[in-house]
Amino acid sequence: MYGLKYTGEKDIAGCGLAGIINIKRERISGSFIKRSIALQHERGNGLGGGFAAYGIYPEYKDYYALHLMYQSDEAKRVTEEFIHHNFAVVKHELIPTRPSPVISNAPLFWRYFVLPKEEIRAQIANITQDDFVVRMVMRINEDITDAYVVSSGKNMGVFKGVGYPEDIADYFILEDYEAYIWTAHNRFPTNSISWWGGAHPFAILDWAIVHNGEISSYGINKRYIEMFGYKLALLTDTEVVTYIFDLLIRKQKLPMHLAVAAIAAPFWKNIDRMPDDERELFSAIRMVYGSALLNGPFALLLSHKNGIIGISDRIKLRPLVAGQKGDFVYMASEEAAIREIADDLDRIWHPTPGHPLIVELDKGVVCE
């Protein structure tokens, strides 16, 4: 081996990801995703951990579940006035937490189950309920000091903070929640600050992103997305990816695989070798959505109300592994993180770099 010696040391490669989906909507405890991400403990440094969960609020599934983070009592007072002015609130409560010796300086977390007030929404021409919620989230994050919307989708929620992910899971008592989609993140920040709002996942409506890597195109991506009214307030590059997916898929109605082709486009040399119809399509995607293209090393999981998408950059500078057993599909940064919670797998594989692994509820793996 040319004088090289294997030392047994692990190549961390920064950050850890984990995802679980049951395609038949069988809900499982948060203890499973905690075990999967905890196995990747050394991929983080204790400066961020978080989880997204889908199906956790079946009794309020038709309402937007706003998870709010407050860093002062005044922020809570001002924000609640804003929420009650713009939304009909059917329930609001403190998000339960468990005292932890390793979690300090935690903000206050509340949740609100809401619908937009029609008389308020009617004042804005041709705005959908989803667009109204996005606009209100942006206003809170940008205009109200010390208040941040952690998640805003229906029948889902994000739980995150500063700490190792297993400690965040214990803090938010995630074993008491059951969901049919879970994603998790273990953070090793390299170019942004560590704070509670900067932990992953980043979410808007039911879209939530966990990400390993660095978005070197952040500046152009940010300027592009802000042209459509999105406001970036959480001080990290990953936030912009969530909004790009919301724009391309929900607003502009791109199919999932074409939205991924916009953010992780094939190289021009590969487009040139495609059949005529595909070459024309992917050339158009690259030209129209050039400012949405993500540069830099990355692997990410995009979870949403209908499934999970896994994607790595075109030359796979960050790891991503997938596995399947029966109705469960798993994705993670490491094979061991999947085998920790699912032995005797039906199959395990490495998704093709730059190509989406798309898993949908009621359908299973639809693209890989």
Say how far apart CA 229 and CA 235 lie, in whole Å: 17
Q: Are 346 and 325 in contact, with CB atoms under 8 Å apart?
A: yes
Asked if 270 and 283 count as a contact pair (C-beta separation under 8 A), the reply is no
CA pair distance 357, 95, nearest whole angstrom: 33
Cα separation, 258 vs 127, in Å, equals 25
Cα dihedral sign, 336-340-345-349: negative
CA nearest neighbour of 185 among 316, 19, 357, 298: 19
The one catalytic residue among 5, 12, 15, 102 = 15
15 is catalytic: yes
| 3-state secondary structure labels for all residues of the chain | CCCCCCCCCCCCCCCEEEEEEECCCCCEEHHHHHHHHHCCHHHCCCCCEEEEEECCCHHHCCCEEEEEEECCHHHHHHHHHHHHHHEEEEEEEECCCCCCCCCCCCCEEEEEEEEECHHHHCCCCCCCHHHHHHHHHHHHHHHCCCEEEEECCECEEEEEECCCHHHHHHHCCHHHCEECEEEEEECCCCCCCCCHHHCCCEEECCEEEEEEECCCCHHHHHHHHHCCCCCCCCCCCHHHHHHHHHHHHHHCCCCHHHHHHHHCCCCHHHHCCCCHHHHHHHHHHHHHCHHHCCCCCEEEEEEECCEEEEEECCCCCCCCEEEEECCEEEEECCHHHHHCCCCCCCEEECCCCCCCEEEECCCEEEEC
Spatial neighbors of 125 by CB under 8 A, at least 6 apart, are none
What residues are annotated to the active site? Answer: 15
